[in-house]
Every structure is written in C-alpha cells, then in structure tokens.
Structure 1
Amino acid sequence: MAVCGHWPPRQFRTVNLARTWPVGAFIGGLAMAAIDALTVRDMASELRVGRSTVYRWLATGRGPRIFRLPNNEIRIHRADFIEWVGRLEIDRKGS
C-alpha cells in the first residue's frame, strides 16, 4: 500500500499546542492512544520563562518528569506538568 501526501492524514491533524494525537491515529499500522505531551518550548511558553531556564530545571532535577522520543527530543506529559506546578504552589504556601 503506497502512502501519498503528508502524514498524518488531514482528518487526524490537530491544532492543539500540546501536540496531541487523536484516538484512532495509526502509525505503521499500530493504533496510538491520545498522548497529551508538551515540548520544552510549550512548557516555557506556558510558564513565561526562557527555554534555557526549562532545560536547566530539567538538568538539575527540579522540573517535571520527562520522556524522550526515539529522536532524543524531550516531551513532558501534561498531567506530570500540572502535578509539578501544583507541588510548587504547595511548597510556596508551606514556606
């Protein structure tokens, strides 16, 4: 089966900044579940800090949990990001 055009097909494309894949998207014949993941750029934008700041937090272990794609790009699950921000708010209130 020859695949022409761009991947993913138009009906599977999203405009979400979190770069999500809708349920039912297929890659290599395997169904992928929806993954709501942020890039470092997305995280920096949401927090209104520089990307270098985010990279420093991640390198020193002060950021949220990350995972790497096969091409070594960093992604952050949105749920982990929200939990991490929540912990920061709690720590601030307790100080």
Structure 2
Amino acid sequence: MARPQILKLAEVLAEIDMSRAAFYRMRARGQAPRLRKLPNGQIRVRRADLDDWWETCANAA
C-alpha cells in the first residue's frame, strides 16, 4: 500500500514519536516540517515536506 501524500498531525506525531506539546514547541522555534492548515482548522503535513525535514534532521546530527 502506498503512503498517503497528506498526513494528519496525529500520523506525523506517531511516525516521529513525539508529543503534541513538544512538536508545537519545536514549531515555535521554526524547526518543524512545513504545515498546511485546512479551512476547518485541521493541520496536515505533506509526505514530501516530512521526508525533507527528516533528511535535514539526519544531516544536522
């Protein structure tokens, strides 16, 4: 089964094994993957943005 192109925030948090609070602190520092806010207020992350963010984290370590 192919990975979805757009992920819910809960899916992202489960994949990166991080709490919502820690994710939002990281986001406030400008260190989170790019988020998309839907008109209904829900947040989504594109798979490509998450993969790029992971690559950046791996290169920084």
TM-score range relative to shorter protein: 0.7 to 0.9
User: Which of the pair is proportionally richer in helix?
Assistant: 2
For structure 1, the residue ranges without an aligned partner over 5 or more in a row are 1-15, 21-35
Deviating above 6 A after TM superposition, structure 1's stretches of 4 or more consecutive aligned residues are: none
- Aligned residues, how many? 60
In the alignment, which residue of structure 2 is the partner of 1:51? 20
* Percentage of identical aligned residues: 30
Look up the equivalent residue of 2:30 and give its one-letter code: G
Relative to the length of structure 1, the TM-score reads: 0.56
For structure 2, the residue ranges without an aligned partner over 5 or more in a row are none
Q: What root-mean-square deviation, in Å, do the aligned CA atoms of Structure 1 and Structure 2 show?
A: 1.7
Shift of 1:77: 0.4
In our comparison, the structure showing a higher alpha carbon Rg is: 1
Q: Which has the higher contact order (CA 8 A, sep 6+)?
A: 2
Relative to the length of structure 2, the TM-score reads: 0.82
In the alignment, which residue of structure 2 is the partner of 1:87? 56
1:62 aligns with 2:31: yes
